[in-house]
Amino acid sequence: MKRLKSTKEHIVLQLGLQEKLLLVQILDLYPRIPAAYQPLSKSAGLEPSNQRLLEEALAEQRVENKKSLTAILSDSKKFSVNQSGWVLSLTVGEMEQLLKVLNDIRVGSWLSLGSPELSVLPLNKQTSPDFWAMEMAGLFQMSFLEAMYEGGRLGHE
């Protein structure tokens, strides 16, 4: 993946054929963080209704994120074919949303693995899919962040 051009509002990336397929495959895993994973507070005495409200708000946010993902991936103005593969044209806001979704996939995969230290993670038939999803989501996050940094969106402008 490489940055083709950028403005203050848009970033245009070139993806190879396999990169596009891999990105779509990774994004299809969203959401990965379990709905009840994020407690409202660790302190006792909070009403269960408050936790339920948090879970409902998170569920609504996931539905909106899924709709946005579908819109981005199906929009021929966002994803178009060229002779080198695929061109992905995103607003900065869309890029930030993709980063949040990829982070959910990465963290959710890590949680599914039992939150291990990577140096002691046994790879086998059960753990390999989660490990693969965690690493690929992280790779795309880094590629997107690098494109934003090179385009002057992060750091010193």
Please count the other Cβ atoms lying within 10 Å of the Cβ belonging to residue 3: 17
Angle at 41 between CA 38 and CA 42, to 5 degrees: 100
Starting at the edge strand found earlier in the chain, the sheet holding 10-15 runs 2-6, 10-15, 85-91, 79-82
Q: Would 49 be classed as within a structural domain?
A: no
Q: Write out pLDDT tens, residues 99-147.
A: 999 999 999 999 999 988 766 778 899 999 999 999 999 999 999 999 8
Assigned domain for 14 exists: yes
- What's this model's pTM, rounded to 2 decimal places? 0.87
Beta bridge partners of 3: 13
Please give the residue range of the domain that contains residue 141. 2-35+65-150
Summarised one tens digit per residue, pLDDT across range 140-157 is: 999 999 988 876 655 444
Residue 44 lies in a domain: no
Residue 82's DSSP bridge partners are: 85
Question: 85 pairs with which residues across the strands?
Answer: 82
Assign 81 to helix, strand or coil.
strand
Number of domains in the chain: 1
Instruction: Kindly state whether residue 84 falls inside one of the protein's structural domains.
Output: yes
Question: What is Dmax (Cα atoms) for the chain?
Answer: 61
Residue 123 falls inside a structural domain: yes
Whether 59 is in a domain gets the answer no
| Mean pLDDT estimate for the chain | 88
Determine, yes or no, domain membership for 55.
no
